[in-house]
Amino acid sequence: MNLLSNCTICPRKCGVNRYKEKGYCKATNKIKLAYYSLHKWEEPVISGKKGSGTIFFSYCNLKCLYCQNKKISLDGYGKEISNKRLGEIILELQSKGANNINLVTPTHYAPQIRKVLINVKDKLNIPVVYNTSSYENVGTLMMMKGLVDIYLADLRYYDDSLALKYSNCKNYFETATMAIDEMYRQVGKFKIENNLMKKGLIVRVLILPGHKSDAKEIINYLYKTYGDDIFISIMNQYTPPSSCKYDNLLNKLSENDYEEVVNFALTIGVNNAFIQEGDTAKESFIPKFDKSIV
């Protein structure tokens, strides 16, 4: 079955024929790519010293009002490429010394990516990272079994009303946690060699201004469910958009609120966590998307 001719790849299940029309994410049947490079601003076990081989795909199946990559996720900046070209880019990043291949927002291109990974698998000797919002269908993730080594997943919201308000997304928590369960089933407890992750699951918790309690609920859920078999990345790098109808989203996260969430994680027993220090909500963490490098 060609999943692109009746697209139900993500939980939106638009059912459109992507060879002829566009669904919610706006992606067609062709891969659209915004940027690729060695990126040094991921978690330390992902970036290491040489950098993560990040590949940023255009469009997204969420519509977060605060997205720091709005230019590509919402506006669709990028260039259409062939499956063959994606395979070349993956091997090019490996040849440049990338610690891994980091597929950023890949969900809506999952069938094409699967074909590419199968084709380059015998030439690839570094881990593949699937970097996702976790608004995923379990069936789509099952297509990636054996091809993905590390899942770098968000868990954005515990309260579904926030998901609807900020990301136009219903039933986010149940959908995302089922997806994360599948990710964990595939990769199991993390494995780290020479300070680099070779397989495993990292779940990111981005604390939104005014919603530290929601972040605590997420962390509590993750620790009760997976204990120290995964890493929790507690993030303070929320970047306010230039405009938004919700005033709280126009502010940076306060240091006190971030410290309160981190201390909560420590109090409940979390050992394997990444925390951020200093002013990480700045443009240096956001790539300068330039079509010329594709």
pLDDT digits (tens, 9 = 90+) for 119-173: 999 999 999 999 999 999 999 999 999 999 999 999 999 999 999 999 999 999 9
Q: Is 26 helix (H, G, I), strand (E, B) or coil?
A: coil
Instruction: Label residue 292 by pLDDT band (50, 70, 90).
Output: very low
pLDDT at position 43 is 97
Query: How many residues does this entry show for the chain?
Result: 294
Q: What is the pLDDT of residues 256-269, one digit of tens each?
A: 999 999 999 999 99
Taking the C-alpha atoms of residue 151 and residue 154, their distance in angstroms, rounded to an integer, is 10
| Radius of gyration for the chain, computed over Cα atoms and rounded to the nearest angstrom | 18
User: What residue type is assigned to position 252 of the chain?
Assistant: K
Does the pLDDT of residue 289 top 90, yes or no? no
Q: What is the pLDDT of residues 54-107, one digit of tens each?
A: 999 999 999 999 999 999 999 999 999 999 999 999 999 999 999 999 999 999
> What torsion, rounded to 10 degrees, do the Cα atoms 72, 173, 209, 286 define?
-20
Does the pLDDT of residue 46 top 80, yes or no? yes
Encoded tokens for 92: 């090019």
Burial of 17 (0-12, 13-18, 19+ CB in 10 A): middle
What percent of the chain has a predicted confidence (pLDDT) above 70? 94
Burial of 252 (0-12, 13-18, 19+ CB in 10 A): middle
How far, CA to CA in Å, does 294 sit from each of 2, 94, 213, 289? 27, 16, 41, 10
Does the pLDDT of residue 283 top 80, yes or no? no
Does the pLDDT of residue 282 top 90, yes or no? no
How far, CA to CA in Å, does 137 sit from each of 64, 129, 149, 160, 189? 19, 17, 18, 17, 22
Encoded tokens for 222: 């993750």
Can you point out the beta strands (E) in the chain?
31-39, 52-57, 79-81, 101-104, 128-132, 150-154, 191-193, 196-206, 231-235, 273-275
To the nearest 10 degrees (0 to 180), the angle between helices 172-187 and 160-167 is: 100
Domains of the chain: 33-293 (3.20.20.70)
249 contact partners, CB below 8 Å, separation of at least 6: 65, 66, 166, 208, 209, 240, 241
Does the pLDDT of residue 116 top 80, yes or no? yes
Which of these, 30, 22, 32, 71, lies nearest to 55 by C-alpha position? 32
Instruction: Label residue 278 by pLDDT band (50, 70, 90).
Output: low
To the nearest 10 degrees (0 to 180), the angle between helices 255-268 and 212-226 is: 20
Q: Kindly report the CA angle at 258 between 252 and 264, in degrees rounded to 5? A: 155
Instruction: Label residue 277 by pLDDT band (50, 70, 90).
Output: confident
Does the pLDDT of residue 291 top 90, yes or no? no
Q: What is the pLDDT of residues 200-245, one digit of tens each?
A: 999 999 999 999 999 999 999 999 999 999 999 999 999 999 999 9
Q: What is the pLDDT of residues 166-196, one digit of tens each?
A: 999 999 999 999 999 999 999 999 999 999 9
